[in-house]
Amino acid sequence: MNKFKFEIIFLLLTAIFLRLINLNQSLWLDEAINVVYARSNDFWWFVSEYPIGDFHPPGYFAMLWLWGQAFGFSEISVRIPSVIFGVLTVYLTFLIGRNLFSSKVGLLGGLLLAIAPLHIYYSQEARMYSFAAFAAAFSTYTLILLLKKKQYAFLLHTLSTLLILFSDYVAYFIIPAHIVWVLLYKRSILRIYFFSLMLSLILFFPWLIKFVDQLKNGLQTAEAIEGWQKVVGGATIKNLILFPVKTLVGKIDFSNNLIYSLILFIFSIPYLVILTKNIKKWDEKADLLWAWLVIPPFLAFLISFFIPVFSYFRLIFILPGFYLLVAAGLDMVKGNFQKALVGLLVLFELTASSIYLFNPIYHREDWKGAVEFINLKSNSKSLVLVKSNTGLAPFSYYEPKINSSPAFINIPVKSEGDLVGLEEKISKYEKIYVFDYLVEITDPKRLLEQKIKSLNLLEVEKYNFSGVGYITGYEKKP
């Protein structure tokens, strides 16, 4: 085996290994909602009706349903497709870098993506974001194949664009980035490129009927629930700051903001130095990557003044472009300084990724632990109240042995009339557990607690589970 093949295999094995660590961590809310509905409904309903309430195209939902029927709906099983898409994206990053610059740039860009904390995190999540990143990278690669007039390039580009359309709506912004670049530099392929794009849109057209329903539902939700924009990604200064921060360090955080800011500043310096190198060497190859990196976030931020979609996790599909720019910049640096920069970036990324992978504090919401705890503490005379107008999917997924019920008729709770009839509901039980999850959105005035205390119930215990929040136990006063 020659050195080059060994490096490719090492790259892919590294990507696989890191994405399999702690893959069995608890499902969080959005993952659990997908899985619970997928395993309890037929295929057609799940891909045509379910997405109306989950503002995404149906592609990922179709794959999740088919995969789950074949391999089961365990935590590891439902996350394996995202792992696969994550590893394939690493390989495509290598291919793009090799075709635009050199094998060295491709390998380095692929390595940086393979160990990138944010990409690892979402390659371990049973959602569509890893799929969207794969589709965007695949589309960029097939665009390069169109330029090289490779066999089947037209069909592959049409397929890759169709995958984007079926993956995630925010990923659509990679298409304007490609259009701008083609118009600026590659007008010779303009005709075949647009023909491919139009064919993809025609094949996707039937879904647009459902998209109208999705859009109406999404706008109604954003208007009805105060604070919803903060959750899903409004055009705010906070989200604008979080975007580059989370792109570099992923989901990890520190309680001391000063230390967090200092560490981030120190480790951002090499990236800034390297990207500056690339800006100085302005050419069409680098500009394809700059368009990939800059145009999608810019468009997402603009549209978020009307529809809240600007959030760093929705934009992980720009990561291959970012790391290839970094790799191309590193290639311009020579000698020991280059080795030092590469070592520093690898050390930084592996440290950030390890903090996430091996510290449960940074794992997803611990619904598994919360349900296990409730099962141990409760009996047939116990009731769980969740701060929602429906049941909570993660709670249902982990099959609690205790009765549970939504506490609200409508959300957000604005008056006591939005609460269920608590007197009748709790009359048969001796102990009540209340999950505080999403209280800032569903019950910001905490009217449920006020009502519970007025019903002669006494707070006797309180526990905190990572991501889930407080679980408070109440008993009837003697």
Q: Provide the pLDDT for residue 231.
A: 59
Compute the average pLDDT of residues 443-459: 85
- Contacts of residue 414, defined as CB under 8 A and 6 or more positions apart, other chains included, come to 445
- Sorted by sequence, the CB contacts under 8 Å of residue 467 that are 6+ apart come out as 28, 363, 364, 365, 366
Gap between the Cα atoms of 374 and 77, Å rounded: 25
Strand pairing category for 457-465 and 469-476: antiparallel
The single-letter DSSP state of residue 402 is S
Please state, in angstroms and rounded to a whole number, the distance separating the CA atoms of residues 358 and 350.
12
Contact by Cβ (8 Å): 32, 394: yes
3-class DSSP assignment, residue 113: helix
Please name every residue paired with 472 in a beta bridge, in sequence order, or none if there are none.
Answer: 434, 462
pLDDT at 307: 81
Domains of the chain: 3-362 (no CATH), 367-476 (3.40.190)
Distances (CA, A) of 321 to 89, 164, 270, 276: 11, 16, 17, 15
Whose structure tokens read 């794969």?
134
With tokens 């195209």, the residue in question is 57
pTM of this structure: 0.92
Whether the Cβ atoms of residue 157 and residue 164 lie closer than 8 Å to each other: no
pLDDT reported for residue 9: 93
At 392, is the pLDDT very low, low, confident or very high (cuts 50, 70, 90)?
Answer: confident
Pairing of strands 457-465, 403-406: unpaired
Q: For residue 388, is pLDDT > 70?
A: yes
Examine the pLDDT at 91 and tell me if it is beyond 90: yes
pLDDT digits (tens, 9 = 90+) for 340-374: 889 999 999 999 999 999 999 999 999 999 999 88
Please report, for residues 182, 418, 432, 439, the alpha-carbon distance to residue 443 in angstroms, rounded to integers and kept in the order given.
Answer: 50, 10, 18, 5
Model pLDDT for residues 464-478, shown as the tens digit of each residue? 998 888 999 988 876
Specify the pLDDT at position 402: 78
Task: Say how far apart CA 350 and CA 288 lie, in whole Å.
Answer: 27
User: What is the CB neighbour count within 10 angstroms for residue 438?
Assistant: 19
- The amino acid at residue 33 is I
Q: Where are the alpha helices (DSSP H) in 235-334?
A: 237-249, 257-280, 284-303, 319-332
Q: What is the chain's mean pLDDT, rounded?
A: 89
- In which band, very low, low, confident or very high, does the pLDDT at 77 lie, cut at 50, 70 and 90? very high
Say what the pLDDT of residue 255 is. 65
pLDDT higher than threshold 90 for residue 288: yes
**Residue 415 exposed, middle or buried by CB count within 10 Å (0-12, 13-18, 19+):** exposed
d(CA 283, CA 332): 14
Tell me the two tokens of residue 261: 């800011």
Q: Which two tokens stand for residue 190?
A: 């303009």
**Comparison of pLDDT for 376 and 179, the residue scoring more:** 179
- pLDDT at site 232: 62
Question: What pLDDT score was predicted for residue 111?
Answer: 97
pLDDT digits (tens, 9 = 90+) for 406-441: 888 888 888 888 888 878 888 888 888 988 888 888
Instruction: Please tell me the distance from the alpha carbon of residue 423 to that of residue 382, in angstroms, as a whole number.
Output: 15
User: Per-residue DSSP letters for 48-112?
Assistant: HTGGGTTTS-SHHHHHHHHHHHHH---HHHHHHHHHHHHHHHHHHHHHHHHHHT-HHHHHHHHHH
Block residue for tokens 């009731």: 383
Could you read off the pLDDT of 263-274 as tens digits, one per residue? 777 778 888 878
What percent of the chain lies above the pLDDT cut of 90? 52
DSSP result, 298-364:
HHHHHHTTTS----GGGGGGGHHHHHHHHHHHHHHS-HHHHHHHHHHHHHHHHHHHHHHHH-GGGSS
Q: pLDDT (tens digit, 9 = 90+) per residue, 17-47?
A: 999 999 999 999 999 999 999 999 999 999 9
Closest CA to 171 of 315, 45, 290: 315
Residue range 60-73: average pLDDT? 97
pLDDT at 261: 75
